[in-house]
Amino acid sequence: MKAQYKWLPWLFLTPALIIALVFTIGPFLNTIVLSFTNSTTLGGGTFNGIQNYLDLANSPQFWISTRNTLLYVAVVVPLLMVLPLLLAVLVERNIPLIGFFRSVFYSPVVASMVVVGLIWSWLLSSDGAVNGLLEALHIIQKPLPFLTDTTLLLLSCMLVTVWKGLGYYMVIYLAALGNVPKELHEAAQVDGAGSGRRLWSITLPGVRPTMLLVGLLGSIAAMKVFAEIFVISSGTAGPGGQARSLVYTIREVGLGLSGEIGYASAMSLALFILTIGFSILYLRSQRTDQLR
């Protein structure tokens, strides 16, 4: 297993590499080139040095986007690492009707974002169910402005991201739970370990690599958040556009017929560099796992 391979890995990797290089990496290298030009959607393309990056540094919108994006990761990722695991444990065992429940729990993942946005903006509206419930419980006196206050709007979007991601990461955890040897659970049970204790000392270590994977995927997804903010705020990113994320801003400046591709490319590169930080953390931790 420790043998050094020469050509065999490349034989296995070639098809995947070709697809990745032709359809993603190549265009992305092109994006890097474009980030040093004043290209627009419809033309341009004169080299303008690091002008786009200077513009970025001076753009309040860029910094708001970056702040919101990092905030998003900080709140959403821990929740996405834990809640779907609990859900997976809940639906793991084959009891009657469990297939039905698993499928229903997956349904938010495939539900159309438009419908999700519609429903959640109803629930979160000032006379919606969430405010109604909070008022009935006397937690609040008057409705909270979930949709018109920047901070609350961001929190609402995070809520939707977690809600929509539950089923997705549950699936990844389910596949991993199958890999935790049943014998360990049985032995622990004989020893009188409670279910909470078994979750902590058997299940968690067993799905550790998967938790890291979910953490990475969750971070990347949170870094790229766009749709939730767009649909919950009906395309305005909150009052004054202050609940914008990086991808939201990238789309705003880069897409459409008068899009500034050069500038948007520079911003994407900034996003890429931020995200690659998480990825390197992930690869590091995996390498340590492998060495153990």
Partner 1 sequence: MARPIQARTPARTHRRRGATKRKTVEYTIRYALLMFVFVLLVGPFIWQFGTSLKGAGESIYTANPFPASPTLANYGMVADTIPVFRYLGNSLVVATSSAILNCVLASLAGYVLARMRFRGRTLVDLVFLATIIIPFEVIMVSVFLTSRSLGLVDSLLGVILPTAVTGLSILIMRTAFMALPREIEEAAMIDGASDWQRFIRVALPSVQGSLVVVAIFAFVFAWDDFLWPLVILKDSANFTLTVGIQYLSGTFTSNQRVVAAGTMIAVIPLLVLFFSLQRWFFRGVGEGGLKG
Partner 2 sequence: MKKLPTIGFALAGVVAIGLTGCGLGSGTSTDSGSSSDEITGEITFSTLQLKPTFTDYIEGVIDDFETANPGTAVKWIDVPFDGAQEKISTDAQAGTLPDVINLNPNFAQPLEAQGAFVNLDDAMPGLSSKFVTGAWDAFQVPGEDGSFGFPWYLSSEVTMYNSSMFETAGLDPNSPPATYDELFADARTLAGAGADFTGMHPALENRFITDLGRMGVPLMNKAGTEWTFNTPDAEAYVAELADLYQSGVFPPDSLTQDHAKETEAYQAGQIALFPSGANFLTIIEENAPDIAKATNVGPQITSEGGPTNVSVMGLLVPKSSENKATALAFAEYITNAENQLAFSKIVTIFPSVTEALADPYFMDDSDGTVESKARRIAAEQLPDAENIVPVQFDDRIKAIVIGKVQLAMKGDLTPAEALDQAVEEANAVTAK
Of partner 2, partner 1, none, which one sits near residue 235, judging by CB under 5 to 8 A according to partner kind?
partner 2
Binding string, residues 240-259; x marks residues near partner 1 by CB under 8 A: -------x--xx--xx----
Binding mask 126-155 for partner 2 (x = CB under 8 A): x----------------x-x-xx----x--
User: What count of Cα atoms within 13 Å lies in the side-chain half-sphere of residue 68?
Assistant: 30
CB of 86 to partner 1, least distance (A): 8
What is the rounded CA–CA span in Å between residue 225 and residue 161? 8
Chain positions 82 to 141 lying near partner 1, rule: CB under 8 A, are 87, 89-91, 93-95, 99-112, 115-116, 118-119, 123
SS3 annotation, 66-109: HHHHHHHHHHHHHHHHHHHHHHHHHHHCCCCCHHHHHHHHHHHH
Q: How far is CA 252 from CA 140, 184, 255, in A?
A: 36, 52, 6
Please identify which residue in the block is written with the tokens 């190549």.
Answer: 26
Classify the phi-psi angles of 97: left when phi > 0, otherwise alpha if psi is within -120 to 50, otherwise beta.
Answer: left
Please, which residue, 215 or 238, has the CB nearer to partner 2? 238
Task: Find the binder of partner 2 among 68, 156, 233, 268 (CB under 8 A).
Answer: 233
32 forms part of the interface with partner 1 (CB under 8 A): no
| Cβ neighbours, 10 Å, residue 82 | 13
Which residues contact partner 2 by CB under 8 A?
6-7, 10-11, 13-14, 17-18, 21-22, 25-27, 29-30, 33-34, 37, 39-45, 121, 125-126, 143, 145, 147-148, 153, 233-236, 238-242, 252-253, 255-260
